[in-house]
Structure 1
Amino acid sequence: MEENFKMIAKCFFGFEEILEKELRTLGAQDVERGVRMVSFKGDKGFMYKANLSLRTALKILKPIYSFRANNEQALYKGISGVNWSKFLNANQTFVIDSTVHSTYFNHSEFVSQKCKDAIVDQFRERTGQRPSIDKQYPDLRINIHIDKDQVSVALDTSGNSLHQRGYRTATNIAPINEVLAAGILLLSGWDGQSHFLDPMCGSGTFLAEAAMIACNIPANINRKEFAFEKWKDWDNDLFDTIIESLMKKTREFHYTIKGFDKAPSAVSKAKDNIRNANLEDYIKVYEDNFFDTEKETEGKLHIVFNPPYDERLDIHMERFYANIGDTLKKNYPGTNAWFITANLEALKFVGLKPSRKIKLFNGSLEARLVKYEMYEGSKRTKFQV
């Protein structure tokens, strides 16, 4: 029986709680929430499952060693203390990613270089050969994290960031990151139990992520590869078994998922991406200006979108955000509308009181995820007996 080991799932600020919930639902052991990360335990099969399934994880690391170092000699010695031939052959390639929060080490490139020297020297002394560096397609991706004098060494199980789902080949200006989109949908309470609309859908990321959540389709099922596929202990049969069991848990969806965009190029890109994700059965995209539309479906409607908020765009932001508020108020009764913006000034012009405000980051930009509840009739009549 495979033994359980510790793993760390990295995430965006503000997503720790939903990532913890995802891991518990998936069956992880010893789940502990941190800052921009959640640690947990599982076996090799669970490592495959977590990479395939987690919607809000950016990367999953497998820690293998930790030690203290306050100078470059101690760092070199500590890295030399790992038997690297367990993970790598002399004819293979590797790369090191370093993150440093320390007064002893202030340059991540220097740390990566020193660690590389220790690994290469170990192989040269033992075999006369040495593995080489490949930054693009390495056989092994090593993660070094230094906090003060504490050095943590981990193997990167994912490879490229898990936001690279594999379905999005065409993008618009400032597309939203897939992991950020999935996290926003989960924070908004989207569970596939109502109709869904993204009224400014761009290249269709919210639409694709919403459909995958609604149907319980694994987030990274369309991804081309994971780093663990090049490991010495890669088990193709186990991986296929995990995929099979995950696909058995997909579910039917009985509502509509729609996207609007007024730019024909955006609509075309969204359709391409939705086709790449094999989600055309669930999603319809239309060329339309949100401000000219109204609610078409009976019952509850869940709206999530990412309006423009870059002042460089040829848009009068205050008027634009006022239009968002007017359109929601007049044309979309009986909806919960959520959107993310980093333009906190323009947000004031929506003219509606948000029932929730959540602080998030879109890249380096501080943003707010806001919720507006649009009632049928006035709010007062809703609460009258």
Structure 2
Amino acid sequence: MPDLHALFLPCPRGLEAMLASEMRQIGGVTLEVGDAVVSGVPARGTLDDVMRLNLHSRLASRVLLCLGRAPVTQADDVYRLALKLPWGRWFKPSQTLRVDITAERIPAERAPGKKPVWPATAGSGHDSPARGSGFLDSLQFTALRAKDGVCDHFRARGEERPSVDREQPDVRVQLHLTASEALLYLDTSGVALFKRGWRTEHGEAPLKENLAAGLLMLSGWTPHAALFDPLCGAGTLAVEAAQMACNIAPGLGRSFGFERLQGFDRGVWIGLRQAANAARRAPPAAIIAADIDPRMVQLTRTNAQRAGVEGAIRFQQADVMDAVPPVQLTPGQAGHIVTNPPYAERIEAKGREAEDFLPRLGDVLKQRFVGWHAALLLADLQADKALRLKPARRHVVYNGPIECRLFTFALVAGRPARKAEVEPA
């Protein structure tokens, strides 16, 4: 039986349970999916599983392969961990390297003047304090020590030290610090998985593609239902929906970090891509993207063309306040509105303020879209009150650092009000 490797797949907060379910659908009999944790899902799998997950996961941000972990109290502990790991199994010293770091909390030795640091992320290419600092009070310095450990591992074997390339490295290493230990991962994805390879321009405030896919899944939409985004912006929701409807694997348009690592079977990878290409299909229902700004409509069309789904989407230039159902639903067919209205934290208000915009939008939905389902991503956690609609559910999700709610509504005439069910993050 092939070796099983410890894996971790990070994702946007609020999508962890769905990612675990998606991983079980993607993985073969060898993939063991663990319980979801905050911002990701652990697993154990083969290198073939790693390739499948990179190719097919719509929700993961990366597929990280854990090479080792150890208790740490100072930066030199990270160096010693990196020094002993079998880097030569995975890449050659002639390849370029980048080390990135994330942390839940950096532990610090209990000494006068030393306090724990609550960091975000950093990389080994940043300025760092003097090498004499032994405390884990600098992300940059700790990442630098991890990089030194990797490079010195090769030098101890009589080989050259890998060079650092911050922009286009051959190999990406991820160092993660918890309150008590360090974990070193190989990033098998390379560029983050939400970068599908089709986006040229982003618009003012784009959704990441994996968050958009998660919103579509949380909304209850399926490819057999009509989908309408009346505030499409750069078209991320519509393009993701079209790729789902056409059964296009999200990773077909890009390359991956594992393609530059040793140990991965190129023949298996070619077969996985061929099977994914053969699984494409025509979309079973209409997908419509509209925006008041003609530049955004054109940008959506361009993105859809690059994603291979231009023919699966209808494009409209229209004001959401003039919106009417873009398709006539047949008996038994569902129609879904899924959209990400502008909000203050996302972009600066232009013209209509939120207190006027949301009530008017609520009126449009309940007066013209009876029989449809709607899902709106909003940073105002009480936005349903401004919409004057009773949500069926409030899903807690994070758009980057911003806590949001995906409010879902069943727009049924005469529906009695009931308390919404809140889905935890």
Query: What TM-score bracket applies, with the shorter chain setting the length?
Result: over 0.9
State the Cα distance separating 1:128 from its structure 2 match. Answer: 5.2
The residue aligned with 1:110 is: 141
Q: Is the CA contact 1:317–1:346 (under 8 Å) kept in the aligned structure 2?
A: no
Distance 2:7 2:47 in 1: 10
For residues 334 and 307 of structure 1, do their structure 2 counterparts lie closer, same or farther at Cα, with a shift above 3 Å needed?
same
State the match for 1:45 in structure 2.
48
- 3-state SS in 2 of match to 1:127: coil
User: Which residue, 402, 415, 420 being the options, matches 1:379?
Assistant: 415
Q: Deviations over 1:42-100 (max 9, x none)?
A: 22222111001101100110011112222233332222111322223222211111123
Q: With structure 1 as the length reference, what TM-score do the two structures score?
A: 0.93
Structure 2: runs of 5 or more not aligned: 109-135, 417-425
Distance 1:263 1:371 in 2: 26
Determine the C-alpha separation between the residues in 1 that align with 2:4 and 2:155. Answer: 32
Contact 1:45 1:242 in 2 (8 A): no
Deviation larger for 324-333 or 304-313: 304-313
Confirm or deny: 8 A CA contact 2:231 2:340 kept in the other structure: yes
User: Secondary structure of 2:214's match?
Assistant: helix
Residue 258 of structure 2 corresponds to which residue in structure 1?
228
The equivalent of 2:174 in structure 1 is 143
Contact 2:27–2:52 (CA under 8 A) maintained in structure 1: no
Match of residue 36 from structure 1:
39
CA contact (8 A) 2:15 2:214 kept: yes
Match of 2:127 in 1: none
Could you list the structure 1 runs, at least 4 aligned residues long, displaced by more than 6 angstroms after superposition.
none
> Partner of 1:280 in structure 2?
310
What is the one-letter code of the residue matched to 2:107? Answer: T
Q: Return the letter of the residue paired with 2:399.
A: N
8 Å contact kept, 2:206–2:234: yes
Contact 1:5 1:43 in 2 (8 A): yes
2:59 matches 1:59: no
SS of equivalent to 2:44: strand
Correspondence list, 1:1-385, <5 A: 2-27=2-27, 29-32=31-34, 33-100=36-103, 101-104=105-108, 105-127=136-158, 129-223=160-254, 225-295=255-325, 296-299=327-330, 300-310=334-344, 312-314=348-350, 315-344=352-381, 347-375=384-412, 377-379=413-415
Alpha-carbon offset, residue 355 of structure 1: 1.2
For residue 213 of structure 1, report the CA deviation from its aligned partner: 1.7
Determine if contact 1:318/1:346 at 8 Å carries over to the other structure: no
For 1:313, give the aligned amino acid: A
3-state SS of the aligned residue for 2:6?
strand
Higher mean C-alpha deviation, range 71-80 or range 210-219: 71-80
Q: Is the 8 A contact 1:215 1:252 kept in 2?
A: yes
Amino acid at match of 1:86: R
Deviations 1:312-369, CA, capped at 9 Å, x for gaps: 2212211110111010011111100001011346552111111111111111111110
**Identity %, equivalent residues:** 31
When the two structures are aligned, how many residues end up with a matched partner?
378
Helix, strand or coil: the match of 1:18? helix
Equivalent residues of 1:69, 1:78 under 8 A apart: no
Q: Counterpart of 1:383?
A: none
Give how far 1:189 is off. Answer: 1.8
In structure 1, distance between residues paired with 2:94 and 2:197: 29
Q: Which moved more, 1:250-259 or 1:147-156?
A: 250-259
The more displaced of 309-318 and 92-101 is 309-318
TM, length-normalised to structure 2:
0.85
Shift of 1:275: 0.4
SS of aligned partner of 1:254: coil
The whole-number CA distance in structure 1 between the counterparts of 2:159 and 2:309 is: 52
SS of the residue corresponding to residue 238 of structure 1 reads helix
- Rounded Cα–Cα distance in structure 2 between residues aligned with 1:168 and 1:347: 32
Partner-residue secondary structure (3-state), 1:51: helix
**1:181-218 CA distances to partner (integer Å, 9 max, x unpaired)?**
00100111222121110011111110111112223221
Q: Which amino acid counterpart does residue 286 of structure 1 have in structure 2?
A: Q
State the distance in 2 between where 1:13 and 1:270 align: 26
Tell me the secondary structure at the aligned position of residue 288 of structure 2.
Answer: strand
Shift of 1:161: 1.2
What residue identity is the alignment partner of 1:304? Answer: V
The 8 Å contact of residues 13 and 38 in structure 2, kept in 1 or not, is answered as: yes
Query: Contact 1:11/1:57 (CA < 8 Å) preserved in 2?
Result: yes
Contact 2:84 2:153 in 1 (8 A): no
- Secondary structure (helix, strand or coil) at the match of 2:60 reads coil
Look up the equivalent residue of 1:358 and give its one-letter code.
Answer: H
- What's the offset of the Cα at 1:176? 1.1
Q: 1:345 to 1:74 in 2, by over 3 A?
A: closer
